[in-house]
A and B are shown apart, each in its own frame.
Chain A
Amino acid sequence: MTAILLLEQLLNGLQFAMMLFLMSAGLTLVFGVMGLINLAHGVLYMVGAFACAIIAGLTGSFWLGLLASLVAAAMAGALVEVGVIRKLYRRDHLDQVLATYALILIFSGGTRWLFGAFPLYLDVPQILSTPVNLFGLLDYSSYRLFIIAVGIAVALGLYFLIARTRLGMRIRAGKSDREMIAALGVDIRTLYTLVFALGAALAGLAGALLGALQSVEVGMGDSVLILAFVVIVIGGIGSIKGAFIGALLVGLVDTMGRFLLPYLFALVLPPDSAASIGGALSSVAIYILMAVILIVKPKGLIAANG
């Protein structure tokens, strides 16, 4: 193990964290502002990836695909909010879970019906397909650096949006007192649709960005959704800042765990059982992290709404 390998793994962890942040930002916004548990968030991730793969396949341009993923996911999000979610705000969480779970089934079934069960092809854009040399030390995928940059840009953009704009002020107001902001004449319904579409667009963006690295197929959002929930539970449900910190923690712990745990076990065990036990333990590392954090801070690291 060398310092260069460690550096590369840190970058990998950071890139994973940025992807998790894109996913969980929308989830935590929707929960924080509307009090809604949205299991269908992973579906929007899939919608983004499919839109990107299809448009990139038709036009040959990844960037148009990326734009399409934002538009398609935001539109799907807005449609879902107006058509289904709007009726759920006053219902309890169990109804919301049931209805949004049904949305997963409907979207997955519909996507399979439209595009088939075979994975689609989506590759990274030409300009980012070759690795770059970092500090003369290591070659690192330029596309992964791009994802890190997008993640940081989105984080800054969200911070600016929520802290400095009128829309952000309304979102914050909606979080702390729904009735009051409605009484003050803010069109709360449109605000909700906007927030939901924004979260959906971020999930779609994550799907498109990751789709180029992974396989674009039905059901691709399911495992990401679970991770996104872990992130927002760790970070404190409803807090964007919490989602960012949670994403960093989960991304780094998961990546470093996968990398370091087998090494640690190899000190005391034969290599193949070390690989096996290390592998098994690293796949639950983030859940152990979540449990520990919840014991110490039951509301997550940054508890929203005081």
Chain B
Amino acid sequence: MKKLAIAVALGLTMSAVSLQLLASPVKVGMITTLTGGGASLGIDIRDGFMLAVKQAGNADLSVVVEDDARKPPLAVQIADKMIQREKVDILTGIVWSNLAMAVVPSAVAQGKFYLSPNAGPSALAGKRCHKNYFNVAWQNDNLHEAMGSYASNEGFTKPYILAPNYPAGKDALVGFKRMFKGEASGEIYTKLGQKDYAAEIAQIRASGADSIYFFLPGGMGISFMKQLTQSGIKLPVMGPAFSFDQGILKAVGKAALGVKNSSQWSKDIDNVANQAFVKSFNSEYGRLPSLYASQGFDTANLILSAMKTADVKDADAFRTALLAANFDSVRGDFKFNANQHPIQNIYVREVIEENGILTNKIVATALENHGNVYASECSL
């Protein structure tokens, strides 16, 4: 009996070893925003991703990183180069939905996998979903839906809503309105990259709104919050995590204190993987991770988990392995929907001051095991 057990154990180890040996190396091409406006987002995604790669120490996984400077044509060029010359197996990294729309459809059509660590435009979740396209972060509407639902529950009846005029901005306001019971007192689409919101703030003041919901990622949100505070408008402010995340809270300053924001991740989510991630990210880079970093980290771990059971050259097997999402997400429970976007909890966080640093604390769960409405349109 004992001999048999040893033989079985040995056999299992052998097969594990041979699997490891057989597996072909995986080359990941990361296209992300490392310079210019919004660079802090791409840098966090990259750093989170590379931290997971470093921790895994898997010699079969190699990563090439290039900067798209938030320019769609440049992202397309880099993608072509990575596919044709670098022969990558998997692409990832894009922060912005307009860049994702420019790169993803052609990359997946060429048989490459694309794992989105951030952008989740509705167009790629519904009719144009693709078997090689996975979103590890969220569908764009998700965080906004959560805040819409939360705003209703909190008894707000006339929020003023605004977002930039680009695919994710439209998804944002559509998502918010989907879950909000009632009518917004006004909505504005601003120019992407706009820094002065005086005109919009004046309209908010005149609208008689009882609260403000805004989606303005990166520097846009910093500008908006500062200007809103100076205008003397004292309405409750809500937003998705993007405008209140770790990377930019310092620049927003105390104006952000008390703001409620929705996120699928927070550094105080209590699970082993998350606590370890926050700690190791902080010691590796000397700053607290943001949700972007957590998404990069999860994306890398998803790839690593798939590499354990499947060979990337066998696309169908690798796809099944990815779909199983057999990894310890820092968000806790994580699984893929039929359209290969996450099903996950979305929390409401509040900006607090902790040891002199502005950060977030979870105050409620807005949506539990939330998928997205586009799954039914997807034929996968």
Contacts and interface: CB of A to CB of B under 8 A. Distances in A.
Interface of A: 1-2, 4-5, 8-9, 12-13, 15-16, 108-109, 112, 117-121, 123-124, 129-131, 138-141, 143-144, 210, 212-220, 222-223, 255-256, 258-259, 262, 271-272, 275-276, 278-280, 282-283
24 contacts: A1-B206, A2-B206, A5-B202, A5-B205, A109-B35, A117-B39, A118-B248, A118-B251, A119-B219, A119-B250, A119-B251, A120-B251, A129-B230, A131-B230, A131-B232, A141-B230, A215-B248, A216-B251, A219-B39, A220-B195, A271-B187, A275-B188, A279-B188, A282-B191
A279 B165 contact: yes
B229 to A, nearest CB: 8
Given A141-B230, A141-B231, A214-B195, A259 B206 contact: no
Contacts of B29: none
A218 B36 contact: yes
Nearest to B187: A275
Nearest to A257: B199
A301 B239 CA distance: 43
A112 B230 contact: no
Contacts, number: 143
Given A120-B251, A215-B251, A220-B219, A255 B198 contact: yes
Contact of A117 (B40, B196, B227): B40
Contact of A214 (B165, B189, B190, B196): B196
B189 A279 contact: yes
B170 A124 contact: no
Residue picked from B190, B199, B250, most chain A C-beta under 10 Å: B199
A125 to B, nearest CB: 11
B223 interface: yes
B219 A217 contact: yes
B26 interface: no
Nearest to B229: A129
Q: Bin chain B's interface residue count.
A: 35 or more
Interface of B: 34-37, 39-40, 43, 165, 170, 173, 187-191, 193, 195-196, 198-200, 202-203, 205-206, 218-220, 222-223, 226-227, 229-232, 247-248, 250-251, 253
Contacts of B247: 118
Given A144-B198, A215-B251, A279-B165, A272 B187 contact: yes
Nearest to B226: A213
Given A118-B247, A258-B199, A215 B34 contact: no
Q: Which of A13, A138, A275 has the most CB of B within 10 A?
A: A275
A246 B314 CA distance: 62
Contacts of B39: 112, 117, 217-219
Contacts of A276: 165, 170, 189
Contacts of B191: 258, 279, 282-283
A214 B188 contact: no
A271 B222 CA distance: 27
A185 B143 CA distance: 68
A117 B202 contact: no
B251 A258 contact: no
Nearest to A109: B35
Contact of B202 (A129, A259, A280): A259
A108 B222 CA distance: 20
A104 to B, nearest CB: 10
A165 B200 CA distance: 42
A141 B219 contact: no
Contact of A215 (B170, B195, B229, B231): B195
A119 B200 CA distance: 23
Contacts of B37: 217, 219-220, 222
Contacts of A16: 196, 198
Nearest to B162: A275
Give the interface centre of A108, A129, A140 by most chain B CB atoms within 10 Å. Answer: A140
A42 to B, nearest CB: 12
Contact of A119 (B187, B196, B229, B248): B248
Given A119-B248, A271-B187, A218 B35 contact: yes
